[in-house]
Structure 1
Amino acid sequence: MKNRVVITGLGIVSPNGVGVEAFHSAIRYGKSGIRHFPELEELNFSCQIAAKPEVSEEQKRKYFTDLQLRNFNSSGILYGVMAGMEALEDAGIETAGKNDEPLWDLGIIFGTGTSGTAKFREAIYLLDSGKVKRLGSTTVAQTMASGISAYLGGMIGAGNQVTTNSSACATGTEAILMGYDLIASGKARQMLCGSCSDDGPVVWGGFDAMKVLTWKHNQDPEHGSRPMSTTASGFVPGSGAGALMLESLTSAQERGAKIYAEVLGGNVNNGGQRQQGSMTAPNSIAVKRCIKTALEVSGVEGHEIDYINGHLTATVKDPTEIRNWSEALGRKGADFPYVNSLKGMIGHGLAASGSMELVAAVLQLHHGFIFPNSNCEDLHPEISAIADRSRIPIQTVSHPLKTIAKASFGFGDVNACVIFRQNSI
């Protein structure tokens, strides 16, 4: 018998809202976090708009001392720590005291794509200048891939598995499923799971060079990210972090914890970069297999899915994604589930995208609404031929949700899908 797994805490550092309360309000009302960055214009980027969280000094100092911040230069770790600690606090779980034993039943799986790129850049400059002794004692911790989980592990006193995963844009969704497996199998009682991403030209430059970013909206940032739209012209780069506290149902009930939703299960697979799949394009056969397997292991039928939180990046692959969902679920037209994409408001957060979108999905499930699809007034004709316009709302819809799906698809042809159910316990 598997342990049942529930969500008892949420945390978010997003371009359109720092903290769950601000983020909840932002997505409900369609607030954009995308803006023009003069730095990108000066560097001759084709895409000069992006999305990054606006974090105040006061917010930073809630989790870091002045001494820590003096040599701190890792935006992804900053966002991840803030989101992770908020999820812990939201769940009502206290950190271990410095002289206490570690929290043996609490672990962390917090992913990232890159870590400390700005710190790397600073280190290279110092090394090239022959100033190796000025690198500082925290350079390694800020630039190692597992820096985010290590920082969180030390702040919390986590004693179970503490690690970092990395699967491109599927990282956050994969982290949730990894944490779910540990709790379901009895190897942990509580797992803090999420993902984060650095921001800035070093991270975003490669995508600009690939010509997958939009270049048509530099003077109109809020309308630049257009998932499922006929006039979509590429994604807007973003950053941030999302976190979810997963817990066994037994543990949550023993503590009298608030429960947002139950995690029913999910699946991770790979298209092998075969057939129509490649490093950057998904193999649709694998995508549909991932969704169907997620449903199967969750004990859910395709007709039970009320809502889909899509990956939907505002590229030419959006119609393909909707087609894959339709075929995997056996649903189309007015029978297609509600679907939306957070990227219309905050761009594509890369490794952080899955976790930020998971927080948005759980908030909608918990509060019974579907946030608007920003900039999707001109729905792509290939999508409208599959799903009824009413299922892709451009205004907020109040609607009770019971069972929902979230999927992420990343470079390397990796796929992840997770199924949630409204708390009826």
Structure 2
Amino acid sequence: MERRVVITGMGVTAPNGVDISSFEKSLRNGKSGIRYFKQLDELNFSCQIGGKPEISEELLNKYFTPLQLRGLNSSGIIYGVIAGTDAWKDAGLKIEQNDYPDWDSGIIFGTGILGVDKFREAIHLIDEGKTRRLGSTSVLQTMASGISAYLGGILGCGNQVTTNSSACTTGTEALLMGYDRIKAGKAKRMLVGSCGDHGPYIWGGFDAMRILPNKYNDEPEKASRPMSASASGFIPGSGAGALVLEDLESAKRRGARIYAEVLGGDINSGGQRGEGSMTAANNEAVERCIQNALKNSNISSNDVDLINGHLTATNRDSVEIINWTKALNRTKNDFPMINSIKGMTGHCLSASGSIECVASVLQIHHKFIFPNINCDDIHPEILKLIDQDKIPREQKEQEINVLAKASFGFGDVNAVVIFKKYIA
């Protein structure tokens, strides 16, 4: 039997919203979550701004026990646990406190670098000969699969529980991996998503590469400028996004609310060959990924109503648009609407794909298109290819049937997923 996969729950911890309702409101209003950080200034960073979710002590205490909070020093785990737990509850699923795992439910929750602050703390203690002061959770907070392990224990999942890591493609890749598992009949539901730590030890390498802007430290909300002629680099961000994927029949039996359907997608790599490199995508691989995502979803390029692009506010934005026009064979007024959330959140690195998948699904479910902020001066190379009204600068109320979401990451890796309005 051909299984259909739907989305029944979502959660988010983003720089501009730490729950689904707040996040949706920020998207509609074009609200930025990018702020100035004095610590980055004191550490002589060129770029002294970033996107960081605001988590209060009161909120922390709703998700972690006092014992769990003791020594917890991994922002990625905090973000992921909040987003993942919220998505589970949003799907109408219970968190059972018994001795029996939920064999039908699994987790694929990715990350890039986890627990850097905990590593730093541990290194100092070890160097000082104080190893026994590390605490019992240092391993859990610094192993890559720490986030899926935390969520697996909280939710009691007995199916596959694992972590993936593919740079900025991580979250979108996790979603497609979960989709494949349900499609193959190996699970009824999968919690999928990704998270990323914040702070100087994550963002410092990018500052050293000089790919972050340095002229907006006094105007942080104007700094991230996807598709803009004045874009001068991406703003680093952090957070987490989570989605509950479920076999349609299982969702219907539960009477679950269905946000959207996952039609399919594709994951590939350019092999760092041709124009592809560790930091730049092989354009042919991007085009193939888009085209294969459409083929695997049994739709044509003309079916796509909206693209939620990767679009990081670098000189690669115009190249990404070129790749979309070639892959879809659509240009000018025939091109779909396109937007990027990164003007509001910055580039949340390993968390970006999942946060942006949540943003994509919200647009389908609530019938709106969020604006591209800081894009009043669209790059002229982009205007040669698509009409400017395809890049909305204000919120649009519009029904969306099919949305293509893309993520492209360091290492020349790509992922494209196709979401569709659910029709029974």
In the other structure, the counterpart of 1:279 is 278
In the other structure, the counterpart of 2:409 is 410
Residues 330-373 of structure 1: per-residue CA shift (max 9 Å, x gap):
11111111111000001000000000000000000111111010
Q: CA deviation at 1:2?
A: 2.9
**Mapped pair 1:420 → 2:408:** no
Q: CA deviation at 1:59?
A: 1.1
Q: CA deviation at 1:128?
A: 1.2
**Mapped pair 1:106 → 2:105:** yes
Matched residue of 1:361: which SS? helix
In the other structure, the counterpart of 2:385 is 386
**Mapped pair 1:75 → 2:75:** yes
**Mapped pair 1:121 → 2:120:** yes
Distance 2:288 2:232 in 1: 28
Distance 1:335 1:366 in 2: 24
Q: CA deviation at 1:63?
A: 1.1
Distance 1:107 1:58 in 2: 29
In the other structure, the counterpart of 2:331 is 332
Give the percent of matched residue pairs that are identical in Structure 1 and Structure 2: 63
Matches within 5 A, 1:2-401: 2-99=2-99, 101-401=100-400
Q: CA deviation at 1:423?
A: 1.2
Distance 2:381 2:238 in 1: 29
Q: CA deviation at 1:70?
A: 1.9
Matched residue of 1:62: which SS? helix
Matched residue of 2:144: which SS? coil
Q: CA deviation at 1:69?
A: 1.0
Residue type at the aligned position of 1:54: E
Q: CA deviation at 1:45?
A: 0.5
Residues 205-241 of structure 1: per-residue CA shift (max 9 Å, x gap):
0000011111110110000000000000000000000
Distance 1:373 1:110 in 2: 28
Residue type at the aligned position of 1:84: G
Distance 1:61 1:107 in 2: 25
Residues 290-320 of structure 1: per-residue CA shift (max 9 Å, x gap):
0000000100100000000000000010000
Matched residue of 1:253: which SS? helix
Q: CA deviation at 1:18?
A: 0.4
Matched residue of 1:326: which SS? helix
Residue type at the aligned position of 1:128: D
Q: CA deviation at 1:96?
A: 2.8
Q: CA deviation at 1:62?
A: 1.0
Residue type at the aligned position of 2:105: L
Distance 1:158 1:47 in 2: 41
Distance 1:164 1:2 in 2: 27
Residue type at the aligned position of 1:367: H
Structure 1: unaligned runs, 5 residues or longer: none
Residues 256-298 of structure 1: per-residue CA shift (max 9 Å, x gap):
0000000000000000000000000000000000000000010
Distance 2:38 2:333 in 1: 44
Please tell me the root mean square deviation across aligned C-alpha atoms, in Å: 0.6
Q: CA deviation at 1:66?
A: 1.5
Q: CA deviation at 1:395?
A: 0.5
Residues 64-115 of structure 1: per-residue CA shift (max 9 Å, x gap):
012211210000000000000000000001123233x100000000000011
Q: CA deviation at 1:202?
A: 0.2
Structure 2: unaligned runs, 5 residues or longer: none
Distance 2:259 2:139 in 1: 37
Distance 1:290 1:95 in 2: 37
Matched residue of 2:147: which SS? helix
Matched residue of 1:145: which SS? coil
Residue type at the aligned position of 1:187: K
Distance 1:2 1:148 in 2: 31
Residue type at the aligned position of 1:40: L
Count of equivalent residues: 424
Distance 1:424 1:29 in 2: 28
Matched residue of 1:320: which SS? helix
Distance 2:336 2:59 in 1: 38
